[in-house]
Chain A
């Protein structure tokens, strides 16, 4: 079932990528659909991460975003930090790490003069992180032990399908959201089975949904 969903997601993405190219062939005169020289770069940040920090959530971090337009195609890069603590019934667990995503967004509001956009896209994401846990373990016939275990220098990767909006709110400022379907996590760890990947979530979940509410500042190229 999961495999089928992933397959449909990939087919949808493939159609999204291919259909503009076909349309471009059919109407070469339609210059808004092709690749163009970039006109500006947008830098942004995730307001939800900031809100979680202020609310003293168990998850703290930040995320910076940037995109550059090449006509209707946007090269998008995200970089973030994630740190989370969990209290376990027999101990505690902490992780911290940095992650990045790189990919392409395809704008479907082709002729919007304000560079508002509704987009579909994809990302490859990678995370470098550390995990630590300390817990009590009762070994039959040997009694209680306090065990400390750490995954230092663990690495993980995953794929995302994205969709969202960007709307100009004032002068060089845009706001918007990005919804993301994260899937195909793969993790390389050492001392213990990774519990949570910074930027992704629980390792054993094969699909995760993510959401960012972002504000951007655009610097036009001259």
Chain B
């Protein structure tokens, strides 16, 4: 999921079947240092729905990782 460490939220706009829906997700960032060789990186944690026009949005995993299977599930009727 594309997110930026410069902001604490991001808005996605979905256009499909003559509909336009939006989903705004909020998150926190946390620095973690593994080792001098691996360096420092940003953890995106506490992922949550800030605002949405979808009827059902479910957070399955609130920590963004490169190998996380699914973070957000949206149901469209």
Closest to A151 in B: B31
Q: Is the CB of A91 within 8 A of B40?
A: yes
Q: A88-B39, A89-B37, A135-B39 are known contacts. Are A145 and B5 too (CB-CB below 8 A)?
A: yes
Q: Is the CB of B2 within 8 A of A192?
A: no
Give 4 nearest A-B pairs by CB, closest first: A192-B31, A141-B2, A90-B39, A149-B31
Q: Flag whether A52 is at the interface (Cβ < 8 A).
A: no
A195 cross-chain contacts in B, Cβ below 8 A: 33
B40 cross-chain contacts in A, Cβ below 8 A: 88, 90-91, 93, 133, 135, 137, 147, 149
Interface size class of B (residues with CB under 8 A): 10 to 19
- 6 A-B pairs within 8 Å (CB atoms) are namely A86-B36, A91-B39, A133-B40, A139-B3, A192-B32, A193-B30
Q: A141-B2, A142-B4 are known contacts. Are A89 and B38 too (CB-CB below 8 A)?
A: yes
Given B4, B31, B36, which contacts A139 in the complex, CB threshold below 8 Å?
B4
Q: Is the CB of A88 within 8 A of B30?
A: no
Contact indicator per residue, chain A 185-201, by CB within 8 Å of chain B (1) or not (0) = 00000011101000000
Q: Flag whether B50 is at the interface (Cβ < 8 A).
A: no
B39 cross-chain contacts in A, Cβ below 8 A: 88-91, 135
Q: Flag whether A22 is at the interface (Cβ < 8 A).
A: no
A191 cross-chain contacts in B, Cβ below 8 A: 30-31
Number of A residues whose C-beta is below 8 Å from B?
21
CB within 8 Å of B: which A118-163 residues = 133, 135, 137, 139-142, 145, 147, 149
A140 to B32, CA, bound (A): 18
Closest to A147 in B: B5
A86 cross-chain contacts in B, Cβ below 8 A: 36
A48 to B38, CA, bound (A): 29
Nearest Cβ on chain B to A129's Cβ, whole angstroms: 15
Nearest Cβ on chain B to A13's Cβ, whole angstroms: 32
Q: A137-B5, A139-B4, A142-B2 are known contacts. Are A147 and B33 too (CB-CB below 8 A)?
A: no
Q: Flag whether B70 is at the interface (Cβ < 8 A).
A: no
A217 to B3, CA, bound (A): 59
A195 to B38, CA, bound (A): 13
Q: Is the CB of A133 within 8 A of B2?
A: no
Given A87, A142, A145, A149, which contacts B36 in the complex, CB threshold below 8 Å?
A87
Q: Is the CB of A88 within 8 A of B32?
A: no
Contact indicator per residue, chain B 5-34, by CB within 8 Å of chain A (1) or not (0) = 110000000000000000000000011110
Given A87, A89, A142, A147, which contacts B31 in the complex, CB threshold below 8 Å?
A147
Q: Flag whether B74 is at the interface (Cβ < 8 A).
A: no
Q: Is the CB of A193 within 8 A of B36?
A: no
Q: Flag whether B41 is at the interface (Cβ < 8 A).
A: yes
A141 to B3, CA, bound (A): 8
